[in-house]
A and B are shown apart, each in its own frame.
Chain A
């Protein structure tokens, strides 16, 4: 019999019945759990379910629990950082100040393409209260930033490649003086012809951004005989999609504080990867890695925007701190942040997809051109994910995918929730709807006929999906939740100027890092059991609002059998844990959790013998649950974990433990895109219902229904929060957030005209959670951060097109874009021809 998971409340997804074909696979999957993860520390799943909220636990010190305690896993305990954040007590970088601290500012280029004939800082130095103005010649180490490639200087010397390129950095006694001095830096810039269109940048004769040429790299996935497959297809859809970029719009702009201490330095930064900053600062200052300490400050949102980019401001602040010997804080203002920080890549996606007469996909050709901006940054890694995500969770025997990383003088492409997958998913799901229309099929039906399942489990990379394949399951559940069947019959008449539509999209998300980033894919944890039974946990993955502290706390509490309130997870600090890579790729809970479980397993080699002595049993019989160590299966024989901890302390037994985890090595051929690009995959389906005012082009997303195979729920509130947040953020990308450029200059660098959704725009959100027994991270959990984002804008696009009966192949679907797509079908289009 399959064991049930502990859940503080019934799993929502089981409350309703699935319409349509009976979903069978999940049921099967529960009966035969696949153990694909080789990690030895993977714990047995904890025991019995219950259906009520646990409430506060006060252990009875005399008797111990009579019933086994399922622990906090899958529950809804209050997240540890909630109170301080809601009460305004959390100290962000902008709240930190030190005696003698200076304020930094950046002198940046306002043009995107130029050679530099000279930089004059004399006027800046003369500004009152200015302490230091530095240029590239003042850098003691290497003038380089960039996580992977070395095409980007910290401070430019001879060439400007994008707006925001740094000419000089300033430190002053007040922020006002610092920014005034930064404005006073003058540069003799000789304009170059720039290139502002990635497609044009690929053409021979285009102005080049770097001498090596504008096409930095092309990634491929090649599978099957394309010529034969083309002949077999009875319907072929060709399309070109223009997908816009997106700003992260984190609440807290970029910021950091650098504190020099003799021959070493501490950086406190709003960031997603303190280890990247450690490497960047060490390189720029010429210091050893050990001489650079980076502490992650509480971070007001990241979404990828604080993965690679914070190394740049941190290196600037570090340089100023190093040269002045004083603490230096650099805080971006919003306009600067919008213009110069990294963005989701704008992309052009070209499709030629074919299907047979029954709607079965025969082949898919995809060519994606990603606008990297002036430097490559993380664009290659983004392209790797886009490359293997281009087909979605569909069974396509013949695939030819090309993804180009192209330099332009536009905004700097970087990491952003979804990491290349949203752009190609938007295109793939649009093309599926076009094929369905050509064949007279319902969009749901064409997906049913092509979705991966237990029999068809081979991805475009040739990788065989491990574990249960619940793509069909999430498709059925999300569409049922949204009322797909019969929607068109019920579609309300348009007497309120509105037309309703419904759209569906799936996502196949490769959890954690791509094969190309394997060497970064490891994690570290430290667990310290205190003499009072409380627990300190350190992990190398960051809390950026997504709930990583909550996940780490829950997993540690579950593994040690203590209440979550006894576990304190502290912010990452490069001096307390090993390099755990970046907090990206939906890997936070996964990688933190696996390292914590390893640390707890190692701690128990010392804890269990002590407990066994107190319990008069064998160490192998010790079980930790409900704040007690007890003899497995014997409810009466228990001792509080706090007593075991005190006993360990009094005997001077080592109560600190480290944990380490890395996924197994995988094989992958980057020339063909064949192999195990990712260890395991999350599957999800979103269905959007929209109301469109066609004459004004206004799109109102009324409802999004989401079904996710999450593997296992760690913390239900955090999970639902990620899904809700992902949906709203993706709706902004899909509908209203545009980044108009003129010669590389952003035209709307403020929240007045960069239109992110507000609470008034949030649709009704219905969430269905599936748990499954496939491979995953801690307790089988997969990632949720990005699967919650990716299938949203595509579902919205399909719903809008369903409402209007036309295709809109440009993202975002702003009112002018929708109206332009209507063209002559707009009832008043004739007024544009009126002679005036």
Chain B
């Protein structure tokens, strides 16, 4: 294959990887490569030097006091299969299971899905509704960032060239007495597998016994330059009891939260109808109890 790459470096530790990224301007980290290799071949991204993260030890899922920590090198397949993710963050498990198809899921990593910064990244809406934060490292140290603040635009993050995503924190949910959690991920595309989302949505709601929505987070992919939280809609719904007119109003308000465009996958009008449909179905499940 015609890949314009001069050098591939294989650091054996995180410290070594960060050192290489600091020393070699133009170096780019690579994990599963399922996005990057295609983009390098097509000339959509460039890299003189690739820093292969395979031996850096960023894979793995562990519990911490604050929640579940998923290493950036964890594969989609491992995330989708992890019992803790499946029980506590079902939207993320569902999203990871819909990235590409199984062969892709076995290579693609969570860090790569974030670093690639696709507006259609399937895991991002699920992570957004989970209130995820990313831990970022460089040779100078570590910092933590709410996931929402990571993305700058299509294919662009606020990461500095020498920085690396090392893990993602999913805060634990404390569900009070009599509360129920509704969490969903839905992906819309013209075939069952191996498809880029035309629209995807994740939703999380905590509903009190009296039907009042205590917390609601809604996030969409492929409807804006980055995956987005539907903040206006969330504000509309929070602390209210869902009824027909509120549901109706939400479908109008959510249109302000998204800014879809016409592209080869669908016109903006289709995406707006899909956003309304997915939100309506999610709210129906929230109301159903």
Closest B residue to A742 by CB, please name it: B264
| Interface residue? B245 (CB, 8 A) | no
CB of B255 within 8 A of CB of A836, answer yes
A696-B277, A831-B255 known; A176 and B188 CB under 8 Å? no
Q: Is the CB of B276 within 8 A of A831?
A: yes
A288 CB within 8 Å of chain B: no
Inside 8 A of A736's CB, which chain B residues have their CB? Answer: 190-191
A747 proximal to B (CB < 8 A): yes
A735 contacts B2, CB within 8 Å? no
Q: A696-B277, A815-B270 are in contact. Are A831 and B252 (CB under 8 A)?
A: yes
A1 within 8 A of B: no
Is B273 touching A829 in the complex (CB atoms < 8 A)?
Answer: yes
Interface size, chain B (Cβ < 8 Å):
29
Contacts of B38 in A (CB 8 A): 752
**Residue A755 at the B interface, CB < 8 A?**
yes
Check: A89 CB closer than 8 A to any chain B CB: no
* Any B CB within 8 A of the CB of A140: no
Tell me if B272 is interfacial: C-beta within 8 Å of chain A. yes
Chain A residues lying within 8 Å of B264, measured Cβ to Cβ, are 740, 747-748, 753
Flag B242-264 by CB within 8 Å of A: 1 or 0 each: 00000000011001100000001
Query: Which chain A residues lie closer than 8 Å to B270 at the CB level?
Result: 697, 815-816, 819-820
Shortest CB distance B232–A (Å): 11
Query: Shortest distance in angstroms between B265's beta carbon and chain A's nearest beta carbon?
Result: 6
User: Which residue in A752, A814, A828 is a CB contact (below 8 Å) of B277?
Assistant: A828
Smallest beta-carbon distance B119→chain A, Å: 14
B269 contacts A by Cβ under 8 Å: yes
Closest residue on chain B to residue A831 by CB atoms? B276
Distance to closest chain A CB from B94 (angstroms): 16
Whether B193 pairs with A828 at a CB distance below 8 angstroms is: no
Does A828 lie within 8 Å of B192, measured CB to CB?
A: no
**Looking at B190, B251, B274, which has the most chain A CB atoms within 10 Å of its CB?**
B190
Instruction: Give Cα A698–Cα B190 distance, bound, in whole angstroms.
Output: 7
Q: When A815-B270, A831-B272 are in contact, do A758 and B194 touch as well, CB less than 8 Å?
A: yes
Contact B192 A175 (CB under 8 A): no
Residue A19 at the chain B interface, CB threshold 8 Å: no
Q: How far is the CB of B203 from the nearest CB of chain A, in Å?
A: 16
Assuming the contacts A179-B2, A740-B264, A815-B198, asked whether A832 and B191 have C-beta atoms less than 8 A apart, the reply is no
* 0/1 interface trace, chain A 733-754, chain B, CB 8 Å (1 if under): 0011000100000011000110
Asked if A87 is at the interface of the complex by the 8 Å CB criterion, the answer is: no
Partner of A816, one of B191, B255, B266, B281: B266
Q: Tell me which of A740, A761, A829 contacts B191 (CB under 8 A).
A: A761
Let me know if A86 is at the binding interface, CB within 8 A.
no
In the assembled complex, A497 has its CB within 8 A of some CB on chain B: yes
Closest chain-A Cβ to B249's Cβ sits at a distance in Å of 10
Q: Which of B2, B251, B265, B277 contacts A176 (CB 8 A)?
A: B2
A757 to B264, CA, bound (A): 18
Complexed CA–CA distance, A736 and B266 (Å): 12
B80 to chain A, nearest CB (A): 16
- Chain A residue numbers with a CB within 8 Å of B274 are 696, 815
Q: Looking at the complex, which one of A179, A757, A828, A836 makes contact with B276 (CB distance below 8 Å)?
A: A828
Closest residue on chain A to residue B41 by CB atoms: A333
| In the complex, chain B residues 71-105 whose Cβ is within 8 Å of any chain A Cβ | 101
Contacts of A819 in B (CB 8 A): 270, 273
Most chain A beta-carbon neighbours within 10 Å: one of B191, B252, B269? B191
**Assembled-state Cα–Cα distance A752/B189 (Å):** 12
CA distance A815 to B191 in the complex (A): 10
Contact check, A832 vs B192: say whether CB atoms are below 8 A apart. no
Q: Compute how far the CA of A179 lies from the CA of B252 in the bound complex, rounded to whole angstroms.
A: 51
A832 pairs with B272, CB closer than 8 A = yes
Q: A698: which B residues are within 8 A, CB to CB? A: 188, 190
Q: How far is the CA of A736 from the CA of B272 in the complex (A)?
A: 20
Residues on the B chain within 8 Å of A740, using CB: 264
When C-beta atoms are compared, the residue in chain B nearest to A757 turns out to be B191
A832–B273 CB distance below 8 A: yes
- Bound Cα distance from A507 to B280, whole angstroms: 42
Q: Is the CB of A758 within 8 A of B101?
A: yes
Residues 701-753 of A contacting B (Cβ, < 8 Å):
735-736, 740, 747-748, 752-753
Asked if B12 CB lies within 8 Å of chain A CBs, one says: no
**Which A residues lie within 8 Å of B194 (CB)?**
758, 760
Q: For B25, list chain A residues within 8 Å (CB).
A: none
Which parts of A777-836 form the interface with B (CB within 8 Å)? 814-816, 819-820, 826, 828-829, 831-832, 834, 836
A197 within 8 A of B: no
What residues of B have a CB within 8 angstroms of the CB of A815 in the complex? 188, 190, 198, 266, 270, 274
Q: How many A-B residue pairs have CB under 8 A?
A: 75
In this complex, the member of A760, A815, A831, A832 whose beta carbon has the largest number of chain B beta carbons within 10 angstroms is A831
- A755 in contact with B191 given A748-B264, A828-B280, A836-B256 (CB within 8 Å): yes
A361 CA / B196 CA spacing, docked (Å): 45
Contacting pair A828 B191 (CB below 8 A): no
| Interface assignment of A695: CB less than 8 Å from any CB of chain B | yes
Measured CA separation A820–B271 after assembly (Å): 12
A343-381: which residues lie under 8 A (CB-CB) from chain B?
A: none
Complex Cα gap A829–B255 (Å): 12
Alpha-carbon gap, A696 to B188, bound state (A): 8
Residues of B within 8 Å of A834, CB to CB, are 252, 255
User: Which residues of chain A from 656 to 702 have a CB within 8 Å of any chain B CB?
Assistant: 695-698, 700
The verdict on B267 contacting chain A, using a C-beta distance below 8 Å, is: yes
* A residues near B196, Cβ cutoff 8 Å: 752-753
Question: Which residues in B have their C-beta under 8 angstroms from that of A757?
Answer: 191
* Interface: B152 (CB within 8 A): no
B17 nearest CB across to chain A (Å): 29
Does A826 contact B193, Cβ atoms closer than 8 Å? no
Q: Which listed residue (A697, A735, A831) contacts B251, Cβ 8 A?
A: A831
For A836, the chain B residues whose CB sits under 8 A away are 255-256
In the complex, what residue of chain A is closest to B277 when comparing beta carbons?
A695
- Bound together, the chains give a CA A736 to CA B193 distance in angstroms of 13
**Inter-chain contacts of B192 with A (CB < 8 A):** 700, 758, 760-761
Docked complex Cα distance between A387 and B196 (Å): 39
Would A816 and B267 count as touching, CB distance under 8 A? Answer: yes
Chain B positions within 8 Å of A829 at CB level: 273
- Interface positions of A from 411 to 445, Cβ below 8 Å from B: none
A818: nearest chain-B partner, CB-CB: B270
- CB-CB under 8 A from B251, the residues of chain A are 828, 831
In angstroms, Cα B266 to Cα A815, docked, is: 8
Distance in Å: Cβ of A336 to nearest Cβ of chain B: 12
A816 vs chain B, min Cβ distance (A): 4
Contacts of A761 on B, CB cut-off 8 Å? 191-193
* Closest residue on chain A to residue B274 by CB atoms: A696
User: Which single residue of chain B is at the shortest CB-CB distance from A751?
Assistant: B194
Report Cα–Cα, A176/B38, bound state, in Å.
Answer: 16
In the docked arrangement, what's the CA distance between A760 and B276, Å? 27
Closest CB of chain A to B197's CB: distance in Å? 12
With A and B bound together, what is the CA distance between A760 and B273 in angstroms?
Answer: 26
Tell me which residues across on chain B come within 8 A of A820, comparing CB atoms. 270
Q: How far is the CB of B222 from chain A (nearest CB, A)?
A: 13
Say yes or no for B195: interface residue by CB 8 A criterion: yes
Of chain A, the residue at the smallest CB distance from B186 is A696
Give Cα A175 to B101, complex, Å: 30
28 contacts between A and B (CB under 8 A): A175-B2, A179-B2, A695-B273, A695-B277, A696-B274, A697-B270, A698-B188, A736-B190, A736-B191, A755-B195, A758-B101, A760-B101, A760-B194, A761-B192, A814-B190, A815-B190, A815-B198, A815-B266, A815-B270, A816-B267, A819-B270, A826-B273, A828-B277, A829-B273, A831-B252, A831-B255, A831-B272, A832-B273
Residues of B near any A CB (own CB < 8 A): 2, 38, 101, 188, 190-196, 198, 251-252, 255-256, 264-267, 269-270, 272-274, 276-277, 280-281
Closest 9 pairs (CB-CB, A-B): A760-B192, A828-B276, A816-B270, A695-B277, A760-B193, A736-B190, A831-B276, A747-B264, A834-B252
Known contacts A815-B266, A828-B273; 9 further A-B pairs (Cβ under 8 A): A497-B281, A696-B188, A748-B264, A752-B196, A760-B101, A760-B194, A829-B273, A831-B252, A831-B272
